[in-house]
Chain A
Amino acid sequence: MDALLLLTPVGAASLAAAVYLLLGWRRITAHVASAASAIILADAIALAVHVTRRGPIDVASGWLHADALSAFMLLGIGTIALIATAASPAYLASHDGERDGSRRRYAVLVCLFLAAMATAVLAGNLGLAWIAIEATTIVTAFLVGHTGSRTALEAAWKYTVICSTGIALALLGLVMLYDAARHANLTETDALNYTLLTAHAHDLDTGVLRMAVAFLLLGFGAKAGLAPLHSWLPDAHSQAPAPVSALMSGVLLPVALSQILRVTAIANPALGTGYARTLLTVMGLGTLLLAAIALIRQRDYKRMLAYSSMEHMGLIAIGAAIGTPLALAAILLHIAGHGLAKAVAFTSAGHILATEHTTSIDRVKALARRQPVLAGIFAAALLALLGFPPFSLFASELALARAGFAAHLGLVIAAALILLLIAFAALAHHGGRMLLADADHDAPAPSPALSTRAYTPLITAVVVLAALGITVYPISSLLNAAAGVGH
């Protein structure tokens, strides 16, 4: 039963990939990926109930492990995957020129992407998690370059080189961590098991652990879009197909970030909270600063959304730096809220691109009048990202600020809030222009609007996002348990 809970998500996604590989993208297979996502979501809910009631599950001598944090991340993967895969048929249909082979490749890679992310969060061994995260780079490289345009290829190249290098640094960190663990008398299979590493953190050699943690944070930080190895992110997120951008921004970044939480859980007892806190604060504030500057002079709305992801990841890194249970609960709620909002934003941006034929902010005007439903959804997602109530990002940002002041990091929080304010102004300004500016007289007539069916998952997500902001009751016990894991 336990093993089944841990194997189902990866199995469902792999099976869906096999179906697409054999049958290709057809009418009858169009919803296989959505079905796999629904299975992942259902499994995540079952897993969440199981771990909050009966504690963590270990399978295959610790290679697979599920605690509240894994269940929480899997819940995110299932939800965002459902939104993204539901949007895939519309995306592929709007690219009519594409050949069957290219559609098949898209579908296979998206399913493999889901399988890799599920493996990463359910791995109990940091080595296995590393392999899964590097695998996400490999499968998404072709998804980023899917359209085959020069810009898409350029983005795919930068993405593969920078992320592979970054993640190689994390591997170096793992090798050092393994060395320290073997000298603390952990056996070969146990030496990368993060539960055991956390328990034996005091026995690890501090000098080696310091180096290991620095490399691990830098490497996993590269995949999470944190400075200094962030420069792939705006290119890759803006060039990838919209549903893939939703997945990359909404779940892949948090999946990498959850590995950072695993690492700090090992580092803090052994090195004291100061070491990881300093590194993460520098990375977080740096990311926020770069994102805020880039947001001001942004002309492309997909890049704008990408920089907004960096902004939120920077904030989440600062929350991880604070590291108290309140801060961790806040960043997990923030991850959930940002994932949902960004999935809706990227998916609706994809619809905007399909109907307006431009990614330039200046050339999309008066969207609110011409496509009210789509504009409403996009606006709701932007308002959520800006941190307006009733959406959950308001609650999580507030909680994060409180946690920071409680931990005597007022200066860091103040700096973060100033940068957030700059990002807020920039995002509000650009969004307002897209939605409300007067239309030019020679503005092209929009293509026919999408069917209501395409909007249903997006509207549902916005409602869930608002509901989460009003009450976190359904996930509160999971959230607290997950925050306890990272502590």
Chain B
Amino acid sequence: MNADAEWLDVACGAFLLAAVGVVWRRDAAASSRLLAVQGAALAAIAVVLGADRHHPELYAVAAGVGLLRAVVLPGILRRAVTASTEDRETRPLMNVGASLLATAGLVLLAYVAATPMVRLENTPAARALPVGLAVVLIGMLVLVTRRKALSQVTGFLLLDNGITAIAFLAAAGVPLLVEFGVSFDLLLAVLVLRVLTTRLRASFGSADLDDLRELHD
């Protein structure tokens, strides 16, 4: 049990650090590598919980989650990066220092906000719940402060990883059928965004969201 709790803390720590890394490094290639690390950490969380709760079903879920979030989704992102040349955030809405400061604030906020859920079940897993919520908030931050299409996809993936982590830590995941449907939807959504990025680039010359100014009142 104790060893399990330690492994869980290591996995959750890696999970959170990867999100902070995305805020720190702003080029899309690094982001896709960090997302792969985060996906692996997420799968590790599922494996540790499966061992702890003697829930062999979770191993299968871990394999699926690992494949999707550590290999497939970062892979899609990486291929989109190599297709473009200008993937660096050159004019971000917030500089690195301010973003990291905001991230620290969001982590604190997550710890405060998650108290009702932690109180519900005082186990090592539940105590790690704020990490998931923190990653959700960091994902939102990345979504609203980045201007490149690919960075927004990164933010969206962070948000989704955070939600999956909360699902694992809170109640060992949602029902298997729902988890499968959610993953499938996520994959399709990212593919849709990938296709749209390509088309945007073809018709706007870049995937800089600042160029998306045609529609207004």
- The interface of chain A, by Cβ under 8 A from chain B, is 63, 125, 127-128, 130-131, 134-135, 137-138, 141-142, 145, 148-151, 153-158, 160-161, 164-165, 168, 171-172, 174-176, 178-180, 182-183, 188-189, 191-192, 205, 207-208, 210-211, 234-235, 238-239, 294, 297-299, 303
Contact = CB atoms under 8 A, between A and B. Distances in A.
A192 B174 contact: yes
B106 to A, nearest CB: 15
Interface of B: 113, 115-117, 119-121, 136, 140, 143, 149, 152, 156, 159-160, 163, 166-167, 170-171, 174-175, 177-178, 181-182, 184-185, 188-189, 192-193, 195-196, 199-200, 203-204, 209, 212, 214-215, 217
Contact of A128 (B152, B178, B188): B178
Contacts of A148: 199, 203
Contact of A127 (B117, B174, B199, B209): B174
Contact of A210 (B116, B121, B196): B116
Contact of B149 (A63, A131, A157, A164): A157
Contacts of B203: 148-150, 153
Contacts of A134: 182, 185, 189
Contacts of B174: 127, 174-175, 178, 192
Determine the main DSSP class of B at the interface with A: helix
A63 B188 CA distance: 23
A208 B215 contact: no
Given A154-B215, A161-B152, A182 B171 contact: yes
Contacts of A298: 217
B189 A153 contact: no
Contacts of A125: 178
B155 to A, nearest CB: 8
26 contacts: A63-B177, A125-B178, A127-B181, A131-B182, A131-B185, A135-B188, A138-B192, A153-B200, A154-B215, A155-B215, A157-B193, A157-B196, A158-B215, A160-B192, A160-B193, A165-B140, A168-B156, A172-B163, A172-B166, A175-B174, A176-B166, A183-B121, A189-B175, A192-B174, A208-B117, A234-B215
Contacts of B156: 161, 164-165, 168
B181 A207 contact: no
Given A134-B185, A176-B117, A192 B160 contact: no
A153 B217 contact: no
Contacts of A151: 214-215
Nearest to B164: A175
